[in-house]
Chain A
Amino acid sequence: MNIEKKASEGQMIEFIDVHKWFGEFHVLQGIDLTVGKQERIVICGPSGSGKSTLIRCINRLEEHQRGRITVDGIELTNNIKNIEKIRAEVGMVFQHFNLFPHLTIVENLALGPLWVKKVPKKEAEEAAMVYLEKVHIAEQARKYPGQLSGGQQQRVAIARSLCMNPKVMLFDEPTSALDPEMIKEVLDVMIELAREGMTMIVVTHEMGFAKSVAHRVLFMDFGKIVEGNTPEEFFKNPQHERTKLFLSQILH
């Protein structure tokens, strides 16, 4: 696999000293992170380390309580208009796909463009078909999500996000709920996306994917980014004991 690994200039997302608590539990303990345009970042770490919470803060599915988060020049505050603007620019793919079960595949895809961007129905559905082609699933367009396999559903979920023409794609453990034989078809779609220069932040334990696609791999534990490095350095020379322990556990 040969993917251009140079990120272009300019920054897309910035975290400055971000803290978040769930009740008494301090999930994010001072996150500082800058993601450049077209940069691809993989975040790994043990469960409960705050990695999902971190990316969910980017489109405000979770609210941070201290510090600043800026996405494409817009700061995330309680301003609902800004939040909606950012959400329309940031795509998200979930562990459990979260397709809308009462709508057909093509309706799932067209929903956002139709209602948020006010694209006419015919155009929205045509665009939806283009994205379905892209994730190799156009023949399923008229089916309902429940009739598709997990891998197919996840590819539909990716296409649904792409329909909004996002500037950033967030992936929250996109392959963790899949049967092993379906992981590859989803990763392949993500790799194609990377090739096209999409800015991506991926929470995953697929280290093969991290090695071939990511500009940077971050390791999180106890609400902090413990270390971050290029994949080559990260896997060859982990700096911290905890990183070493984690890598030894997941790489066997």
Chain B
Amino acid sequence: MEQAVQAEEVRPPVTQIGVIGWVRHNLFNGVFNSLLTIVTLFFLWKVVPPFFRWAFIDSAWHTTGQACKQAAGACWSVVSMNYRFILFGFYPYEQQWRPFLAMMILFGLLFYSRNRNHWKKPLAYAWIIGLFTMGLLMKGGIFGLKSVESTQWGGLPLTLLLAVFGLTAAYPLGVILALGRRSKMPGVKALSILYIELIRGVPLISLLFMSAIIFPLFLPEGVTFNKILRAQVAIILFTAAYIAEVVRGGLQAMSRGQYEAAESIGLNYYLTMRLVILPQALKIVIPPTVSILISAFKDTSLVVIIALFDLLKTTQTVLSNPEWMGFSREAYVFVGILYFLGCFSMSNYSRKLEKELSRGD
């Protein structure tokens, strides 16, 4: 048997490790940092207990608006008594299980798609069937489902509809525009630049107005386009222009050598892009792309200006009811949490994706 070398383990001093070490290193590391720690603690002490008291102890959870006015703390009743309207808007009350089910299907699909090992053909079919079912549930009209006009759609399903379709359609369009802008064909290049610069030079609000008010003027009489569809198209066009510029940044980061190597083994332009350049370029720009997607998700709330009842608008509508007037804090905290969940899961997922894709570095 080989003799084991028994080295006596020398542990670092207690002041360097463990809780004390951590506190010293992170909180009281120098005069200035110690001061900052103390000031921060003081603020936390001043802010957290009162907030906790307001939100949980003195709060009313399931009362009428009248009873709420007596409570000293938060009035969560504004949410709990109105959540069906906030979440589903004017969708017929007894039919609201349908948008709920549609959202559950969407969440299920999104959750299942998180894992890249699942990105195979069956998943694509699942999405197609899922989207079809969701549309069916929302719209109805067959299989004994009561028909619900899209003008009655609202709340969270509308926000998700605009966001999910907006983002998934804008991304490929943005990539194509980025490639177009770097194309050697002058026509394609000029068109891409024109598109990107025009759209980026205009606020989303004006695009939405154009889609809602100006665009119908050009249609022949009797021809109408669904309002949600028009807003959807505006969001897609707008987001795509921003994604295009971010992707272009990623393309510019690629060395000429990668193109040359791909060409030298006989790959054509399409295959070079698809197999060699884009996988690398898109990976580089994951962080800025996700920033754009997150801000686009939040920008869907701008559709209120063309009178679509998205999540934010339904909340505002509840607040304009005399019974619930004055409880905007609580209602907006609730909506804020919903938006945060959406944005945070996107950014969380992008970090996971980045980690998985960085194996080769």
By a beta-carbon cutoff of 8 Å, the part of chain A in contact with chain B is 59, 61, 80, 84, 87-88, 90-92, 94, 96, 98-104, 111-112, 115-116, 144-146, 157, 160-161, 163-164
Contact = CB atoms under 8 A, between A and B. Distances in A.
Contacts of A98: 255, 257-258, 260-261
Contacts of B323: none
Q: Range of interface residues on chain B?
A: 20 to 34
Interface stretch (B275-283, B288-296, B327-335): B275-283
A115 B264 contact: no
Determine chain B's interface SS by DSSP, over half rule.
helix
Interface of B: 255, 257-258, 260-268, 271, 275-276, 279-280, 283, 357, 359-361
A161 B280 CA distance: 21
A145 B257 contact: no
A111 B260 contact: no
A87 B257 contact: no
B257 A94 contact: yes
5 contacts: A88-B265, A94-B261, A98-B257, A116-B265, A116-B271
Contacts of A92: 260-261, 264
A112 B265 contact: yes
Given A61-B260, A102-B360, 14 more contacts: A59-B263, A87-B263, A94-B257, A96-B257, A98-B257, A99-B261, A100-B261, A101-B360, A115-B267, A116-B265, A144-B360, A145-B360, A160-B265, A164-B266
Give the 6 A-B residue pairs with the shortest CB-CB distance, closest first: A88-B266, A98-B261, A112-B265, A98-B257, A144-B360, A92-B264
B265 A146 contact: no
Nearest to B270: A115
B263 A101 contact: no
Contacts of A111: 265, 267, 275-276
B27 to A, nearest CB: 38
Contacts of B357: 102
Contacts of B262: 100
